[in-house]
């Protein structure tokens, strides 16, 4: 099922009926990524991280392709309510929220029979869910967010997420939750972002790459022990923990090797944005991107596109820029980069003219869909469908 990567004329022909700019999915490559991610996860169920997709059509396709994909990991209660209203179920909200109306909307779907987990790491969040679930006359499931960062001497290796960092802290929190009405703690999630989202083969980082690899090797057993001990301690205290979620695209192998884990979360690997090109142990296919129109040529070998400044979130740096993809050998003008309304590119080839498309890959996965209302779905050299993104659905959650 391996497909060669397309070249510029392939994409130019396939998308010739699209109005520029547009965002695209190469369905042949997406299907291959779906297959390869399932293979990497062996038999462990995969929860789809919606944050890294933000398009219902794509999430439906993944869920339909293989029963190993089960449930969605959302990022806001309003999103969970929206997805529930569109027929999705088994929705784990990976981030806490203190917005009453949003929690209420999600609770209404719980009452109607949907399975939704609310993320908590403090009593304030859990108490609010309890109050709202009580007023809606339903019971809400809670998921404890276990922090997975690791403190090495002089180095904090990880991200700042949850305040719960140990089995003892988890048990003490669980004891408080037990006193609340209409909630049940039945899930634990730990997101080891420093393993899942950090490449170890980044171009130009000759010194950092081996250091990152070593740090990951040292952190993995610490993470496994913390997650395993926390789940065991909670169960020992009487909690019926049925879901233990971990990981992301870059950590599938280490996450599934933990005995306590019941499912792994995966999002970015489906589209495989260019940030995910830089891992030594897997390579997914560039299945999504956007195309801009060359609208002028200010000098020989300089081609200026309309739009393009879609910089990815997080710590800043050149790596967060979209990557000019096809035709090959395009580069930015250092002082301008991809701009708010235009993007000049250096190109010393024969494939571009005024009016031509240029294909780019976003640095991160789901953020592409915040820029476009639709994705042009291409299969076998033809556009076969157009799918609304969340933006196209008129939705904006955070
Ligand atoms: C809490 C959490 N877990 C897992 C993931 C999945 O990560 P990735 O998109 O790198 O596969 C994400 C991000 O989407 C996340 O926010």
- pLDDT tens by residue, 335-361: 999 999 999 999 999 999 999 999 999
Q: At 85, which CATH number?
A: 3.20.20.10
Contacts of 397 (CB under 8 A, 6+ apart): 75, 76, 78, 79, 82, 390
Residue 307 structure tokens: 């739009």
Rounded distance between C-alpha atoms, residue 91 and residue 106, angstroms = 10
Ligand 1 binding pocket mutation candidate from 47, 73, 250, 255 (most atoms within 8 A of CB): 73
Q: Which domain holds residue 129?
A: 27-269
Asked if residue 161 has its Cβ within 6 Å of ligand 1, the reply is no
Domain contains 192:
yes
Name the pLDDT band for 313 (thresholds 50, 70, 90): very high
Asked if residue 92 has its Cβ within 6 Å of ligand 1, the reply is no
User: Average pLDDT of 293-302?
Assistant: 98
Taking the centre of ligand 1 as the mean of its atom positions, its distance from the CA of residue 256, in whole angstroms, is: 15
Domain contains 127:
yes
Q: How many helices (H) and strands (E) does the chain have?
A: 11, 19
User: Each residue of 201-246: pLDDT tens digit?
Assistant: 998 899 999 999 999 999 999 999 999 999 999 999 999 999 999 9
Asked if residue 196 has its Cβ within 6 Å of ligand 1, the reply is yes
Taking the centre of ligand 1 as the mean of its atom positions, its distance from the CA of residue 324, in whole angstroms, is: 25
Ligand 1 binding pocket mutation candidate from 48, 51, 192, 223 (most atoms within 8 A of CB): 51
Taking the centre of ligand 1 as the mean of its atom positions, its distance from the CA of residue 48, in whole angstroms, is: 9
* CA atoms in the 13 A half-sphere facing the CB of 124: 6
Domain contains 244:
yes
Rounded distance between C-alpha atoms, residue 161 and residue 149, angstroms = 8
Name the pLDDT band for 44 (thresholds 50, 70, 90): very high
Taking the centre of ligand 1 as the mean of its atom positions, its distance from the CA of residue 50, in whole angstroms, is: 8
Domain contains 68:
yes
Domain contains 219:
yes
Domain contains 238:
yes
The pTM score is 0.97
CA distances from 377 to 13, 15, 287, 384 (A): 14, 9, 10, 6
Q: Whose CA is nearest to atom 2 of ligand 1?
A: 191
Residue 351 burial (10 A CB sphere; 0-12, 13-18, 19+): middle
Quick one: CA dihedral 43, 47, 50, 51, positive or negative?
negative
Helix (H, G, I), strand (E, B) or coil at 375: strand
* Helix 100-111, helix 77-85: angle, nearest 10: 30
Taking the centre of ligand 1 as the mean of its atom positions, its distance from the CA of residue 248, in whole angstroms, is: 5
Taking the centre of ligand 1 as the mean of its atom positions, its distance from the CA of residue 228, in whole angstroms, is: 20
- For residue 3, the model assigns a pLDDT of 67
Name the pLDDT band for 2 (thresholds 50, 70, 90): low
Asked if residue 125 has its Cβ within 6 Å of ligand 1, the reply is no
Asked if residue 190 has its Cβ within 6 Å of ligand 1, the reply is no
Domain contains 388:
no
Q: Which helix (H) or strand (E) holds 183?
A: strand 183-190
User: Each residue of 168-188: pLDDT tens digit?
Assistant: 999 999 999 999 999 999 999
Name the pLDDT band for 374 (thresholds 50, 70, 90): very high
Ligand 1 binding pocket mutation candidate from 52, 162, 366 (most atoms within 8 A of CB): 52
For residue 131, is pLDDT > 80? yes
Taking the centre of ligand 1 as the mean of its atom positions, its distance from the CA of residue 265, in whole angstroms, is: 6
Asked if residue 330 has its Cβ within 6 Å of ligand 1, the reply is no
Map tokens 């499912």 to a residue: 263
Looking at the chain, list the stretches that DSSP marks H as alpha helix, in order from N- to C-terminal side. 8-14, 27-40, 56-65, 77-85, 100-111, 123-135, 167-178, 193-196, 208-236, 252-256, 268-271
Please state, for a pLDDT cut of 90, what percent of the chain lies above it: 98
- For residue 4, the model assigns a pLDDT of 79
Residues across the chain: 398
User: Each residue of 97-120: pLDDT tens digit?
Assistant: 999 999 999 999 999 999 999 999
Domain contains 391:
no
Q: What's the mean per-residue pLDDT of the chain? A: 97
Rounded distance between C-alpha atoms, residue 63 and residue 43, angstroms = 15
User: Each residue of 319-337: pLDDT tens digit?
Assistant: 999 999 999 999 999 999 9
Q: How many domains does the chain fold into?
A: 1
Taking the centre of ligand 1 as the mean of its atom positions, its distance from the CA of residue 129, in whole angstroms, is: 23
- For residue 250, the model assigns a pLDDT of 98
User: Each residue of 239-290: pLDDT tens digit?
Assistant: 999 999 999 999 999 999 999 999 999 999 999 999 999 999 999 999 999 9
Asked if residue 162 has its Cβ within 6 Å of ligand 1, the reply is no
């Amino acid at each position: 099922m391996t497909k060669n990567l397309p070249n510029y004329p392939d994409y130019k022909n396939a998308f010739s009926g699209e109005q520029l700019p547009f965002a695209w999915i190469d369905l042949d490559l997406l299907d291959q990524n779906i297959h390869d991610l399932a293979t990497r996860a062996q038999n462990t169920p995969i929860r789809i991280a919606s944050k890294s997709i933000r398009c219902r059509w794509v999430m439906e396709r993944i869920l339909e392709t293989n029963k190993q994909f089960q449930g969605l990991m959302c990022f806001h209660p309003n999103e969970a309510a929206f997805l529930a209203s569109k027929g999705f179920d088994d929705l784990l909200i990976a981030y806490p929220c203190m917005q009453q109306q949003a929690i209420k909307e999600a609770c209404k779907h719980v009452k109607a029979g949907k399975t939704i987990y609310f993320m908590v790491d403090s009593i304030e969040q859990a108490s609010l869910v309890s109050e709202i679930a009580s007023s809606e006359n339903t019971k809400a499931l809670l998921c404890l967010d276990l922090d997975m960062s690791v403190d090495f001497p002089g180095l904090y290796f990880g991200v700042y997420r949850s305040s719960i960092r140990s089995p003892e802290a988890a048990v003490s929190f669980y004891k408080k939750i037990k006193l609340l009405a209409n909630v049940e703690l039945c899930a634990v999630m730990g997101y080891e972002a420093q393993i899942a989202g950090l490449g170890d083969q980044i171009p130009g980082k000759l010194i950092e790459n081996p250091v990152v690899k070593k740090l990951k090797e040292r952190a993995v057993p610490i993470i496994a022990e913390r997650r395993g001990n926390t789940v065991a301690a909670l169960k020992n205290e009487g909690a019926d923990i049925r879901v233990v979620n971990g990981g992301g695209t870059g950590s599938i192998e280490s996450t599934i090797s933990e005995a306590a884990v019941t499912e792994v979360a995966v999002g970015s690997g489906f589209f495989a944005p260019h940030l995910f090109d830089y891992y030594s142990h897997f390579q997914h296919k560039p299945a999504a991107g956007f195309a801009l129109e060359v609208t002028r040529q200010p000098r020989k070998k300089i081609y200026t596109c309309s739009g393009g400044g879609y910089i990815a979130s997080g710590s800043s740096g050149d790596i967060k820029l979209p990557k000019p993809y096809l035709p090959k050998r395009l580069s930015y003008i250092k002082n301008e980069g991809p701009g708010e309304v235009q993007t000049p590119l250096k190109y010393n080839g024969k494939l571009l003219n005024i009016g031509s498309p240029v294909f780019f890959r976003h640095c991160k996965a789901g953020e592409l869909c915040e820029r476009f209302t639709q994705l042009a779905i291409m299969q076998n050299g033809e556009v076969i469908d157009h799918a609304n993104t969340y933006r196209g659905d008129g939705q904006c959650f955070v």
